[in-house]
């Protein structure tokens, strides 16, 4: 495979080539050949386009690295506050950033959204962000999940364990999960790559829920799963097939 010879020129040679063309001592072709610099880059320099070393031509990034860093930081901050951005949210926000800051762009002005090509490039330049499927999280749960509340819980748990000196087989951990009769999948949002759990605030759920409860103790003994139905009065039909 042939070696890549792009940008094997230095700034001093480019400066000398520019001086000779500006003074009309040489044309573009002769100056480029004499000082061993790219003719297209020399022409762009003289036309006052951004062709500093490191730029290989083609379409430039719409935003500077500093602005993209701010966008990436905002995406992560919004997700940690349970208001993660969907793809459409991100594209709309980016369009508004470009418009309000009067940054030249090629986004669609009719729908006022950045293009998918920009999104793909942004994700490549910011590998710490990925598109994730969030878990619906109620507002009450999000407000309660704070460091002081968690510390208070574990302090109380430690005090109870020390006071009663429970044996491992008497220490159970219970987990509950809801099964809804109306399934609704959350839209994918952008979040920090590697984050174990991603949440998104949801409004009050519709339909009926059945709570599934599972419990297991510290030595691995488990209690058969239990189902809690949302009923005010017992329905005898629910006991059909029960042997106990």
Confidence of residue 80 (pLDDT cuts 50, 70, 90): confident
Taking every pair of Cα atoms in the chain, the longest distance, rounded to a whole number of angstroms, is: 103
Asked whether residue 72 falls in the same domain as residue 128, the answer is: yes
Asked whether residue 85 falls in the same domain as residue 113, the answer is: yes
What gap in Å lies between CA 110 and CA 101, rounded to an integer? 18
Flag whether 147 is in a domain. no
Flag whether 165 is in a domain. no
The boundaries of the domain holding residue 124 are: 65-132
Query: Distance between the two ends of the chain, CA-based, in angstroms?
Result: 76
Asked whether residue 5 falls in the same domain as residue 53, the answer is: yes
Specify the higher pLDDT residue, 25 or 202.
25
Which of 12, 30, 58 is a domain's end point? 58
Residue 177 pLDDT > 60: yes
In tens, the pLDDT along 54-65 reads: 554 556 678 988
Q: What's the pLDDT at 2?
A: 45
Which of 132, 147, 176 is a domain's end point? 132
Flag whether 11 is in a domain. yes
Q: What's the pLDDT at 3?
A: 46
The secondary element (H helix, E strand) that includes residue 80 is: helix 65-80
Residue 173 pLDDT > 80: yes
Confidence of residue 6 (pLDDT cuts 50, 70, 90): low
In this structure, are strands 222-228 and 209-217 parallel, antiparallel, or unpaired? antiparallel
Q: Look at the chain and report how many structural domains it folds into.
A: 2
Flag whether 81 is in a domain. yes
**Cβ–Cβ under 8 Å, residues 115 and 106:** yes
Flag whether 187 is in a domain. no
Across the range 202-217, mean pLDDT stands at 74
Dig out the tokens for 180 from the structure.
């809804």
Flag whether 5 is in a domain. yes
What gap in Å lies between CA 218 and CA 170, rounded to an integer? 8
Dig out the tokens for 171 from the structure.
């220490």
What gap in Å lies between CA 139 and CA 143, rounded to an integer? 6
Q: What's the pLDDT at 51?
A: 45
């Amino acid at each position: 495979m042939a070696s890549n010879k792009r940008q094997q020129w230095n700034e001093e040679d480019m400066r000398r080539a520019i001086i000779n063309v500006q003074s009309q001592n040489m044309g573009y072709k002769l100056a480029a050949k004499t000082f061993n610099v790219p003719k297209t880059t020399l022409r762009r320099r003289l036309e006052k386009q951004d062709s500093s070393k490191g730029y290989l031509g083609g379409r430039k990034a719409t935003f500077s690295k500093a602005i993209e860093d701010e966008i990436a930081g905002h995406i992560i901050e919004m997700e940690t506050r349970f208001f993660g951005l969907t793809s459409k949210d991100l594209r709309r926000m980016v369009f508004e950033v470009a418009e309000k800051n009067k940054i030249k762009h090629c986004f669609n002005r009719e729908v006022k959204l950045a293009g998918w090509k920009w999104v793909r490039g942004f994700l490549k330049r910011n590998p710490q962000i990925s598109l994730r499927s969030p878990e619906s999280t109620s507002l009450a749960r999000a407000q309660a999940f704070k460091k002081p509340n968690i510390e208070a819980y574990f302090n109380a748990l430690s005090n109870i364990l020390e006071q009663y000196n429970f044996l491992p087989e008497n220490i159970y951990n219970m987990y509950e999960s809801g099964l809804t009769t109306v399934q609704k999948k959350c839209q994918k949002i952008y979040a920090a790559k590697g984050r174990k759990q991603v949440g998104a605030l949801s409004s009050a759920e519709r339909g009926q829920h059945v709570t599934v409860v599972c419990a297991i103790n510290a030595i691995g003994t488990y209690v058969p799963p239990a189902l809690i139905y949302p009923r005010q009065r017992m329905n005898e039909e629910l006991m059909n097939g029960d042997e106990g």
